[in-house]
Amino acid sequence: MRAGPSQEDIRRHNLGALLRHVHLGGPISRAELTSKMGLNRSTIMALTSDLTAAGLVREELPRETGRAGRPSLVVRPESARVYVFAFDVGPDRLAAARVGLGGVILDRRESVRERGPFKLDELTGTLAGFARQMRRKTRPDTVCVGAAAAVSGGVRKGDGVVRFGPNLKAEEVPFGEELGRRLGLGLPVSVGNDANLAALAEHSRGIGAAVRDLIYLHGDVGIGGGIIAGGHLLGGHDGYGGEVGHMVVNPGGRACGCGSNGCLEAEVGERALLESAGRTRQRQPAEQEPPGQPREPEPPGQRGRDAVRAVVEGADRGDIMAQDALTRIGDWLGLGVANLVNIFNPEMVIFGGTLREIYLGSAAQVRTQLALHAMAPQRERLRLRTSALGDAATLVGAAELAFAHVLSDPLEVLARVTG
């Protein structure tokens, strides 16, 4: 016979669940917690006093309620006291943030990353430097309870090794371990794929909050994605699933950084858009795979998020080449989305990163392709939306990853980091 959960297991579960309500939903009265969690008033009172004693939440009298009788105390996250460090490593930028419990970005640093080889020492040194700067500005009673990073690439579950990241030129890089060592906080650094984490961020506190089945598509140099099915991120057997950018939409099409051809990323990504719009030099076929020789660098300002956004703005202003490029890219994007909609039947598809602007500039094409290729039952109630968190989505997602263990066992974590 299997033993049921112990009193201690139940208490740990309830503490985590209550803290999650406060962390994701913001200030909430004890009375609302009682009804949302299906627990009695004395249990809620005991749980909130444990979390208050641990310094994770505080209780306050609500502002005037207008009702007679004793008002229910409001439980708030200790956002200024309890925080995590969140990091983002993209092809063009390095970002770090100090994020308070409740998801509040308290402080933030960002720098440009030069495209080129993945320099582990330099990169982790910059990020750890950002963390030190932000930490120096904190009050003495603040406590860091976790750290996590979003990386544009495939990350091995458990040890934070970046297995592949064609757009970062990273392969088998022990990123999490090195960043943890550099930070010197005695905390492990969790690492996740940037688009997966942005999907979780939109799902937990963005446009997809309360949506259980959604697909988030992230545009940067390449195209990443995160699939939330039944409320859970689909990672696949090894955690590398959801690479929607490498779904083949055009066999024999443009060469992709992954080694294949005609991937969604190759047809819709930054290079395809900029070349189609005449904003960058078209590479000759012989140049496609330079045999070990560095390519001539492109002039600055002709690539990156700003360059992509400039094409969309150009199309708005009547630039014919930019309009044609957006039409072409919108067709491929719509075809990719139609495939995903047929397979996963999401309630919502969210366009984030540079795909936000690209989608807004090519929504007619995307909808036409959906009408042509998505099956009616999957399409009928589908909602197409743009990211609510914008460029912060990956950082917010990394912060949620860093808070995950605090939410699963609040008291143990706090005892460890303060003891």
Interface residues with Zn ion (CB under 5 A) are 246, 256, 258, 260, 263
Report the C-alpha gap between 248 and 260 in whole angstroms: 8
| Residue 261 beta carbon to Zn ion: minimum distance, rounded to whole angstroms | 8
Phi, psi of 255 (to 5 degrees): -65, 140
Residue from 140, 164, 168, 142 nearest 154 by CA: 164
Give first-to-last CA distance, the chain, whole Å: 38
- The three-state secondary structure class of 167 is coil
| Residue 258 beta carbon to Zn ion: minimum distance, rounded to whole angstroms | 3
Distance of CA 88 to the CA centre of its chain: 9
Distance of CA 319 to the CA centre of its chain: 33
Which tokens go with 339?
Answer: 């495939």
N residues, the chain: 419
Task: Select 29 or 260, whichever has its Cβ closest to Zn ion.
Answer: 260
| Residue 263 beta carbon to Zn ion: minimum distance, rounded to whole angstroms | 3
Residue from 241, 214, 134 nearest 388 by CA: 214
Task: Select 268 or 414, whichever has its Cβ closest to Zn ion.
Answer: 268
Query: Cβ neighbours of residue 209 under 8 Å, at least 6 residues apart?
Result: 202, 203
Task: Select 77 or 269, whichever has its Cβ closest to Zn ion.
Answer: 269
87 and 150 Cβ atoms separated by less than 8 Å: yes
Task: Select 82 or 263, whichever has its Cβ closest to Zn ion.
Answer: 263
Task: Select 205 or 246, whichever has its Cβ closest to Zn ion.
Answer: 246
| Residue 265 beta carbon to Zn ion: minimum distance, rounded to whole angstroms | 5
200 and 216 Cβ atoms separated by less than 8 Å: no
Report the C-alpha gap between 351 and 386 in whole angstroms: 5
Task: Select 256 or 312, whichever has its Cβ closest to Zn ion.
Answer: 256
378 and 349 Cβ atoms separated by less than 8 Å: no
Task: Select 182 or 246, whichever has its Cβ closest to Zn ion.
Answer: 246
